[in-house]
Structure 1
Amino acid sequence: MKSYIVIILSFFLFSCSNEPSLQKYFVDNSESPDFIALDLGSSIINTEKMTLSKEDKEVLKSFEKMNIIAFKKDSLNEEKYTLESKKVKEILKSEKYQELMRMGSGNNGGAIYFVGEEEHIDEFVLFATGKENGFAVVRILGNDMNPSQIMSLVSLMQKANLNLEQLKPLKSFMN
């Protein structure tokens, strides 16, 4: 019996990684006054009054939740902004995250990353920066998503009656 406990404890200790991750980054910074963190469920997309295609239903079925963390830059926290955006960039450079596309230039830009295989994606990550305003990281979590589904999800969000109450803390923080 003791040998089983030792094996289980050894497995647990060696399988836990001290490597930085976005999930850990969100947890570590969610209470900081320089950040706002939101967890949004699939209920943000109100489709009650919409006619959904089979594809739309599949997209919604694969979507679980969205995590957002935003850093608001001001004249008092420029050093922290530089440090924190560097931390996020380092996390996104790990082998876990694959870059899908990059956009923007100059002072504003962003990139989309994913975790998983191209047709079986478990997480999409949008990292957007603005030299004047700060940065935001959006994690879209789901099961077996693919790039076309994320585009369909964005389209559904635009058409649907979004539950904007869930976004009020973000709007208040950024103003």
Structure 2
Amino acid sequence: MNAIKGILVILLAIAFTSCQDKQTLQEYYVDSKENDAFILVDVPTSLIAPSAEEMTEDQKKVLKSVKKVNLLAYAKTDSDFYTSETLKVKEILADDNYEELMKFGNPSQRMRLFIKSQEESIDEIVVFAQDEKKGFLLARVLGDKMNVADMVRFAETMDTSSTAFNTAGFEGVMDVFNNK
């Protein structure tokens, strides 16, 4: 009986350890923050939305469902590092219950859109954009009970609003790609 208990303890320890080996997207962001090769920007929702006076009540509700937006950028300076990091991100997105909604582009420039959801409520939207010459951008939109249809309508509203989308907050991230 003691041998069976010992084997069970070992198996549980192995199972627990193997589960801990997989990095989450949040952990990847935290680890990358410590690396000077990356630029990490937390974007307030006020930067991505038209002024409150221009929004309808439905649009305000959609905006309230967005808690924060995180951008992580890597400007390609090292091909091996670029390759290893993009593989890490792809593995995380494949292993961490993200559902791929769409992908487009070509082999040298591509973008993929993922969601993490529970039933009809979306908790996270991830955009992973890669450019073989310039680097990659990983954007996370974290929220509570977000809805894809509402988010699409809201994005369309931002495009047509009389308040121009304020890109000043993104200059540091975009400059990384312009210098390459």
TM-score relative to the length of structure 1: 0.81
Which residue is 1:146 aligned to?
147
TM superposition shift of 1:163: 3.6
**Seq. identity, %:** 34
Q: Distance in 2 between matches of 1:45 and 1:154?
A: 9
Deviation at 1:19, TM superposition (A): 2.7
Which is higher, the Rg of structure 1 or of structure 2?
2
In the other structure, the counterpart of 1:90 is 91
Range with greater deviation from structure 2 (155-164 or 17-26): 155-164
The answer for the alignment partner of 2:36 in structure 1 is 33
- After TM superposition, what 4+ stretches of structure 1 lie above 4 angstroms from structure 2? none
Q: 2:23 aligns with which of 14, 20, 24?
A: 20
**Is this contact kept in 2: 1:46–1:162, CA < 8 A?**
yes
- Work out the CA distance in 2 between the residues paired with 1:94 and 1:153: 29
User: How far did residue 49 of structure 1 move?
Assistant: 6.5
Between the aligned partners of 2:70 and 2:52, the Cα distance in structure 1 is: 25
Instruction: State the secondary structure of the residue aligned to 1:149.
Output: helix
Paired residues for 1:156-175 under 5 Å: 156-158=157-159, 159=161, 160-175=163-178
Cα distance, 1:46 vs structure 2 = 4.7
CA distance 1:153–1:21, shift in 2 (3 Å):
farther
Structure 2-normalised TM-score?
0.79
The reply to whether residue 136 of structure 1 matches residue 137 of structure 2 is yes
Q: Does the CA-based 8 Å contact 2:24-2:96 persist in structure 1?
A: no
Distance 1:147 1:69, change over 3 A: same
Q: How well do the aligned residues superpose, as a CA RMSD in angstroms?
A: 2.1
In structure 2, do the counterparts of structure 1 residues 48 and 95 end up closer, same or farther at CA, with 3 Å as the change threshold?
closer
Could you list the runs of 5+ residues in structure 1 that have no partner in the other structure? 1-13
- The answer as to 2:73 corresponding to 1:70 is yes
Q: Secondary structure at the match of 1:93?
A: helix
User: Which deviates more, 111-120 or 130-139?
Assistant: 111-120
Q: Which has the higher helix share?
A: 2
